[in-house]
Amino acid sequence: MAATELTVLISGDSGVGKEVFSKIIHSLSARKHNNFIAINCGAIPGGTINSELFGHEKGAFTGATSERKGYFETVDGGTIFLDEIGEMPLDTQAYLLRILESGEFIKVGSSKVLKTNVRIIAATNVKLDEKIRNGKFREDLFYRLNTVPIQVPNLSERREDIYMLFRKFATDFADKYKTSPIQLDEQSRILLENYAWPGNIRELRNMSEQLSVLAEDRLITAERLIELIPNITKRNLPAMRKRSGGGEDSFQEREILYKLLFDMKNDMNDLKSLVFELIKSNNLSVSNVNKLKQLQSPSSNSQDRRSSFAESNHSAAEPISDLPNASAEYRYEGEDDNKPFIIQPEQNQDTYDSMEIIEESLSLEDMEKDMIKKALKKHNGRRKDASVDLGISERTLYRKIKQYEI
């Protein structure tokens, strides 16, 4: 896209290097000999951002003691990188939309229309479509900025880049501090590549600088890496979270998995009870009594069910527990021999249809994701009610929704 004049919107989490991509686009474009400026829209107060971007006339507001040129006037012919574009106020968005459409703008306190020729590259770490739905971002501006969308993935999604970037940073800091570059052995490299990197490339760069300064030996072992960077062994798994008001640790996130496992156990017990009652109520034949016993639910009232079943049918057949031969066929008196079997006798085992065993996923992340989906569906998408049902904070639930892209 560098050779074109198209507007680019770069999306990605904080620390993935969105500004680096904007500089690459500018350096490879026809504007590379003109100015480039990066502006953080979230860092400029809402009352002064119009003056910063478009300039103001003398006396336009209190404190405007002289005329001032804005960025769009001083960078004419160059490239402007607007970081955190989602934090830009709505009135400023209207000014920016006019520049994108016609290249025209008006200084604060002026009536004169000025022209500018700049290329705009915007970046965001939030979902702009959600801001549009909430009325905090203009939909027409979004489509003007999103001419060429670029999605920069998190560092954890491109682990093959981690070691290469680490070597690059280590070399840079070795030149800066006049030392030889640090290196990693095989085990420390594995630790590096399996870390979650919530701060993305910014965190990797800072860690590289920290190791370059603190490490006495240029070859860093896994033990030394853990000693210098204790967080390197942490994983992005459900863990204990301290309560906001202090006190003992909470297992709120882990309880999601516990609830899922308990639900699975209850479903299995219900299925066993259903099959057992089906055999009881339909006078079915059973080829193996031991298998029938195993179908009974291990719940607290299973013994009562077994005794009730035996008592209600003692005139028709012997109790299951008293049968001398566990593999013998079990029938009730008066049973029609032509009645179709739901549970086939042993001699008809070859009449079973072919089966395919499908293994259920045992991934903790899949289980957690499934529980969150069920809770959101149960409460019609209300995150507050779903977080109460799941036993976690609404902030944690929002983070999980974003993590699993639910």
pLDDT tens-place string over residues 90-99: 999 999 999 9
Whether 179 and 225 share a structural domain: yes
CA angle, 239 then 240 then 244, to 5°: 130
CATH number at residue 43: 3.40.50.300
In a domain, 128, yes or no: yes
Query: Domain range holding 346?
Result: 284-351
Number of neighbouring beta carbons within 10 Å of residue 95: 20
Check residues 42 and 243 and name the one with the higher pLDDT. Answer: 42
Whether 209 and 332 share a structural domain: no
In a domain, 402, yes or no: no
Question: Which two structure tokens, joined as six digits, stand for 193?
Answer: 């590549």
Whether 173 and 139 share a structural domain: no
For position 279, what pLDDT does the model report? 76
Whether 197 and 64 share a structural domain: no
Look at residues 149, 125, 123 and name the one whose alpha carbon lies nearest to residue 199.
125
Distance (Å, whole) CA 396 – CA 386 = 11
Whether 35 and 93 share a structural domain: yes
Of 17-21, 44-48, 120-124, 242-246, where does mean pLDDT reach its minimum? 242-246
Check residues 83 and 325 and name the one with the higher pLDDT. Answer: 83
Which residue, of 233, 258, 275, is where some domain finishes?
233
pLDDT tens digits, one per residue of 47-75? 889 999 999 998 888 888 889 999 999 99
Whether 133 and 164 share a structural domain: no
Tracing tokens 């999306």 back to the chain, one arrives at: 11
CATH number at residue 229: 1.10.8.60
| Total number of domains constituting the chain | 3
Whether 95 and 142 share a structural domain: yes
For position 116, what pLDDT does the model report? 94
**187: which residues sit within 8 A by CB, 6+ positions away?**
221, 222
Average pLDDT, the chain: 81
Which residue, of 174, 200, 233, is where some domain finishes?
233
Residue 255 reports pLDDT greater than 50: yes
Whether 32 and 111 share a structural domain: yes
Residue 43 reports pLDDT greater than 60: yes
The residue type of 378 is K
In a domain, 147, yes or no: yes
In a domain, 56, yes or no: yes
Number of neighbouring beta carbons within 10 Å of residue 46: 13
In a domain, 371, yes or no: no
pLDDT tens digits, one per residue of 343-368? 444 444 455 556 666 666 667 788 88
In a domain, 17, yes or no: yes
Which residue, of 336, 351, 366, is where some domain finishes?
351
Whether 169 and 98 share a structural domain: no
Whether 16 and 67 share a structural domain: yes
In a domain, 91, yes or no: yes
Residue 257: pLDDT band (50, 70, 90) is confident
Whether 21 and 146 share a structural domain: yes
Residue 151 reports pLDDT greater than 90: yes
pLDDT tens digits, one per residue of 193-252? 999 999 999 999 999 999 999 988 899 999 999 999 988 887 655 555 554 444 444 556
For position 403, what pLDDT does the model report? 86
Question: Which two structure tokens, joined as six digits, stand for 177?
Answer: 């501090």
Mean pLDDT (whole number) for 272-280: 80
Backbone angles phi, psi at 278, to 5 degrees: -65, -40
For position 61, what pLDDT does the model report? 84
pLDDT above 90 coverage of the chain, percent: 49
CA angle, 103 then 107 then 109, to 5°: 150
In a domain, 360, yes or no: no
pLDDT above 70 coverage of the chain, percent: 76
The residue type of 226 is I
Whether 23 and 137 share a structural domain: yes
Check residues 318 and 274 and name the one with the higher pLDDT. Answer: 274
Distance (Å, whole) CA 306 – CA 50 = 79
For position 281, what pLDDT does the model report? 78
